[in-house]
Amino acid sequence: MQKIRDDSELLDALARGLSVIEAFDQDSAEMTLSEVARKTDIKPATARRILRTLVSLGYARSVNKRFLLTPKILGLGAAYSRSAQLEEALMPELRRLVGIFGDASSVTILSGTDIFYVSHFSDQKARRISADTGITYPAYPTSMGRVLLAGLSDEEINDHLDSVSLEKRTENTVIEPSKLKEIILETRRKGYSATADELFYGVTAIAVPIMAVRGNVIAALNSSGYSGKITMDDLVNNRLEELRISADRIGETLLRYPSLHHSLDKS
């Protein structure tokens, strides 16, 4: 469970409840009570009360002593999407990029040591289960993650690399901290990042930052494709300019959507 800061106004019970919801994913769609407790590092008695509450409210079900989320949970994310007006603010540029290049385009933010997909669009042929709104992945092996990390201070980058578990996702994944820092700092200088087969085999992507008014990085925008058909050089030569145009447009558009802008801009 993510540790919350020391504040007498914070509700630890709510934080634990949310951590239980977040524990369910593609690899753990159904879990026993003990599995939930172990995955969230919550005492079984507390996990049991949380799960019973979620079942009572209709957000979860228990089948053969295994718990799973129900479709009602989608309403929690939909509330943010509606209030922040994600469709109106982000989708036009994602559709524009996919209309030009095909494949897929996404917007992510930095969430702890992960990237979090805020918005995603792809053509049907290129659609991948691995990318969709609400999914998280480690930041260090992704183009969007490196763009977001490049927006941090040097001290924050060091803290990130010290705290994250660096694992080989593929044979191409860079996991040496010194090399990763060098890549992140180079990303800051260039203003973009391109990766191939580091998060998954077959995924090549290029990403640029989405900037706030004050010039700080608040999100990342990418264009991705199948690495068997396109190289990193192809992405840089053919897509970088249009990607930067879209990022600038999204940054300007966010000024008209204050709720979304404030929710992305953590500064």
Three-class secondary structure of residue 22 per DSSP: helix
DSSP H/E element including 210: strand 203-211
The per-residue pLDDT for 117 is 92
The per-residue pLDDT for 81 is 63
Residue 261 has pLDDT above 50, yes or no: yes
The per-residue pLDDT for 228 is 87
- Count CB neighbours of 131 within 10 A: 23
Question: 116 - beta bridge partners?
Answer: 109, 136
The predicted-structure confidence for 224-249, as pLDDT tens digits, reads as follows 999 889 999 999 999 999 999 999 99
- Reading the block at residue 181, the tokens are 């820092």
Three-class secondary structure of residue 149 per DSSP: helix
Tell me which of 237 and 259 has the higher pLDDT.
Answer: 237
The predicted-structure confidence for 187-210, as pLDDT tens digits, reads as follows 999 999 999 999 999 999 999 999
The structural architecture, per CATH, of the domain 12-69 is Orthogonal Bundle (1.10)
Q: Quick one: pLDDT band at residue 217, thresholds 50, 70, 90?
A: very high
- Domain ranges, ordered by start, for the chain: 12-69, 76-264
Largest CA distance in the chain: 56
Yes or no: say if 223 and 103 are a contact pair by the CB < 8 Å rule.
Answer: yes
The length of the chain in residues reads 267
pTM equals: 0.80
**Radius of gyration from C-alpha coordinates of the chain:** 19
Fold adopted by 76-264: Beta-Lactamase (3.30.450)
